[in-house]
Structure 1
């Protein structure tokens, strides 16, 4: 543990400070220096299986049966297309906090807690090596995950051994997808101090139109 905590990214606001803290956690756990990606001479990503992927939802995807989805190529996802989110983390029994940051059609920044949430995944315990979201008992199970605006969608996953004692982590039908703020990340960070170990993952996707995909 270090103090002061965080990376020097000019953070002054609570949201920016929370981002700098998460960035240092990721850098320490992966033994990276936190330099600009353009300055790297080695591959940016490992060639091993990625921890989060979007995949197609085949026709006939209903609660009566599940077909094996086809993984989408690269780091792009199509606009206005129902999709599933596949999590590949070989740590059954652990818990996954999954935060999303993107934008809507008006260009407004959106920030949702994916797991746990009533909309996507009421349970955030990883019971298998690979899981699909939306979960079967989620509100969006039959509809899938769909993006209505082009742009970048970012995901931060925090894997912990034991659940955190935070009221907003209890899925709520009146608030099916919590809009997270910097204070929520701060509360998570404070409780992580009591955990023996945790892991942080990050990945972003570009939402593109069919026309862009064919160029």
Structure 2
């Protein structure tokens, strides 16, 4: 079976929408003729999601029988806020926004249109730019999916950059109808994306010149998304990693989340499933300071004897928490999820391992009252007194998944012959597919620096 580029892009779109929990902005690029088919296909392929299709009416400058004209839509927020049962919508599919742009697009040099004159800014785009925080705060349960032709996405990028910056990119789905007309359209689409990259590169240079770190990160992320649309995933990853570093530096959580999701999509498209799923889960991780601590023998004894006395955690530090090198340590996981299953992963430059459940450290992965202390008494490390020892300095990352309904995958059953379960591509995909079937699970993430 020959899998086309459009098939891959469509599957990436489905993965993004399937794991989306709450607010998001997604753009799907396709021809106007294909819009209805794409909407129907998305709804059929994601039956577990609650959809609403919003068709924006086209303007009509001729008077009807009552003497009225239909102006372009100018205020999307008011339309959404008045949708019946909007609190239960997971995904809002929006079509027809391009009709509110067409009256403002004027001819210009190079076929780009006169994008830069203030009188060409459609009110609906000004409104989206100015009220994006209201969309995020008031529609926290809705993922907005705008289905648009390429010219409208290009126009939106240039005239509503703030709103576009919060998107997870553009999923470009080509028509399945063959013929010279589509070949020309595909060529034009590629040229438009390349022009967008050039535009973002110019903006990037200006942002760096004036020291605008937020704008720099936004431009880098948009360049990465553009390269993803071209199928150049290695280039996309390079730009997303740069944007991620800046978002973290300036503490922009929304930008960080968008970059992580874009990175996950790019790694998944390359078949690098460990990187992809790590980025995707990290993006979904809840902010919970000090949920994971490493303790000396005396501190662990106090917790073991007085489980109800573990009341007050130290305040979170601005600097990454540290782990002393070559010390025997206990691990305490302080999460209030009684009777949930815990999956605990550790990633460092040596690789990724599963600590819980495992024969090595945690035979029983069902959490009781916090803190959940490792190694457990009957594990290999508990019997031998090995505990946790970090022998190299550097960064250690920990990711915990807590599940209300335990997973019963064979490799999650602790075995003596595999003390720490192997973390391979087949198991990674299997885990992710099982997680996507469940609704009630949470992710937590923490980094440490191992120091002398």
1:184 maps to: 427
CA contact (8 A) 1:58 1:67 kept: no
CA distance in 1: counterparts of 2:289 and 2:279, whole angstroms:
22
Which of 270, 279, 293 is matched with 1:23 structurally? Answer: 279
Structure possessing the higher radius of gyration over alpha carbons? 2
Which of 90, 94, 103 is matched with 2:336 structurally? Answer: 90
Q: Deviations over 1:80-133 (max 9, x none)?
A: 100011101101000111111124xxxxx2321100001110011111121110
1:57 maps to: 297
CA contact (8 A) 2:343 2:400 kept: yes
The 5 Å alignment of 1:175-214 reads 175-209=418-452
SS of structure 2 residue aligned to 1:8: helix
SS of structure 1 residue aligned to 2:427: helix
CA distance in 2: counterparts of 1:59 and 1:3, whole angstroms:
47
Which of 129, 135, 150 is matched with 2:370 structurally? Answer: 129
CA contact (8 A) 2:285 2:444 kept: no
User: Quick check: which one's helix share is greater?
Assistant: 2
1:101 maps to: 347
Deviation of the 1:200 alpha carbon: 0.9
1:138 maps to: 379
Instruction: Report the CA distance shift for 1:153/1:179 in structure 2 as closer, same or farther (over 3 A).
Output: farther
1:40 maps to: none
1:3 maps to: 14
TM-score by length of 1: 0.73
Instruction: Report the CA distance shift for 1:25/1:148 in structure 2 as closer, same or farther (over 3 A).
Output: closer
* Structure with more contact order per residue of length (Cα contacts < 8 Å, sep ≥ 6): 1
Structure 2 regions of 5+ residues with no counterpart? Answer: 1-12, 17-259
User: Quick check: which one's strand share is greater?
Assistant: 1
CA distance in 2: counterparts of 1:94 and 1:3, whole angstroms:
28
1:151 maps to: 394
Are 1:112 and 2:353 matched, yes or no?
yes
Deviation of the 1:24 alpha carbon: 3.5
1:36 maps to: none
Instruction: Report the CA distance shift for 1:111/1:68 in structure 2 as closer, same or farther (over 3 A).
Output: farther
Instruction: Report the CA distance shift for 1:166/1:122 in structure 2 as closer, same or farther (over 3 A).
Output: same
SS of structure 1 residue aligned to 2:298: coil
2:176 maps to: none
SS of structure 2 residue aligned to 1:176: coil
CA contact (8 A) 2:354 2:420 kept: yes
CA RMSD of aligned residues (A): 3.0
Structure 1 regions of 5+ residues with no counterpart? Answer: 31-45, 104-108, 210-215
CA distance in 2: counterparts of 1:193 and 1:60, whole angstroms:
36
SS of structure 2 residue aligned to 1:140: helix
Deviation of the 1:53 alpha carbon: 1.1
CA contact (8 A) 2:282 2:399 kept: no
CA distance in 1: counterparts of 2:422 and 2:306, whole angstroms:
31
Deviation of the 1:135 alpha carbon: 0.7
